[in-house]
Amino acid sequence: MLRVFHEQHPDIHLELAEDGSQPLVRSLARGELDVALVIVPTTGVDPALHTTPVLRERLSVASPTSERSPATRGSMSVRELGRRSLVVPRRGYDVRETTLQAFTDAGVEPRFAVEGGEMDAVLRMVEAGTGVAVVPDLVFAGRPRLRRTVLTPPLFRTVALARRADLTPTHAMRAFRATLLSFLAVLSAGDGFTGDVQVLRPPTE
């Protein structure tokens, strides 16, 4: 999508910041970012932010294809997951908090192999056989060394494009939003997604 945006708007300079949702929201509030893709709760969205939900995706268990499948039925419960060594990203990543809350709700104590790191590092550790991880379905695309196993009951999350509500969007921000939504629409119309990912149709701003 960034390549497409740059081709369509070569005069707009992009600076990419990768982080968990919580730090990204704080950076938006401080004016350090124009827009961010963040995870939004089902209720109680921050009124200081204008959010456009763009994706609803499932969280699944990633394990290395070099090892046998962690589940015989193609799915596994959190209780079954509790018997495996877990790799989780550092604090600030919504997927970490969601994973740990699922363990709490199931009354299960997680067994950690490694805590911390960015999402890409978590995926590399899983590929190397360090442990398994709960990750969004989108990350399985282009990673043939990862096996996807669905969790039961399922865990879902909503990804939204966010900006500060008190600021009028600039031309660059509107262009970024339009390119993102158009790109997702093209992907969803074809075979662009791996796993259980649904593109949401936001209203026009």
CA distances from 172 to 11, 12, 27 (A): 10, 7, 18
CATH code of the domain occupying 57-157: 3.40.190.10
Whether domain 2-56+160-199 has CATH 3.40.190.10: yes
Q: Do domains 2-56+160-199 and 57-157 have the same CATH topology?
A: yes
pLDDT one-digit tens code per residue, 22-60? 899 999 999 999 999 999 875 556 888 999 999 999 999
The whole-number pLDDT of residue 129 equals: 96
User: How many CB atoms are closer than 10 A to CB 104?
Assistant: 12
65 pLDDT band (50/70/90 cuts)? very high
CA distances from 29 to 16, 23, 24, 47, 172 (A): 17, 10, 9, 11, 18
- Please, which residues bridge with residue 38 across strands? 160
Structure tokens of 55?
């994706």
- If one compares 142 and 81, the residue with the highest pLDDT of the two is 81
pLDDT one-digit tens code per residue, 177-201? 999 999 988 887 876 676 788 888 7
3-state secondary structure of 86: strand
**Whether pLDDT at 159 is above 80:** yes
3-state secondary structure of 90: coil
The reported pTM is: 0.85
Query: What value does the mean pLDDT of the chain take?
Result: 90
CA–CA gap between residue 161 and residue 152 (Å, rounded): 28
- Please, which residues bridge with residue 52 across strands? 161
CB 35 within 8 A of CB 50: no
CB 137 within 8 A of CB 60: yes
Percentage of the chain modeled with pLDDT above 90: 71
- Parse the chain into domains and list their residue ranges: 2-56+160-199, 57-157
**Whether pLDDT at 125 is above 80:** yes
CB 146 within 8 A of CB 62: yes
List all residues 6 or more positions away from 56 whose beta carbon is below 8 Å from its beta carbon.
156, 157, 158, 159, 197, 198, 200
The whole-number pLDDT of residue 28 equals: 93
The whole-number pLDDT of residue 203 equals: 59
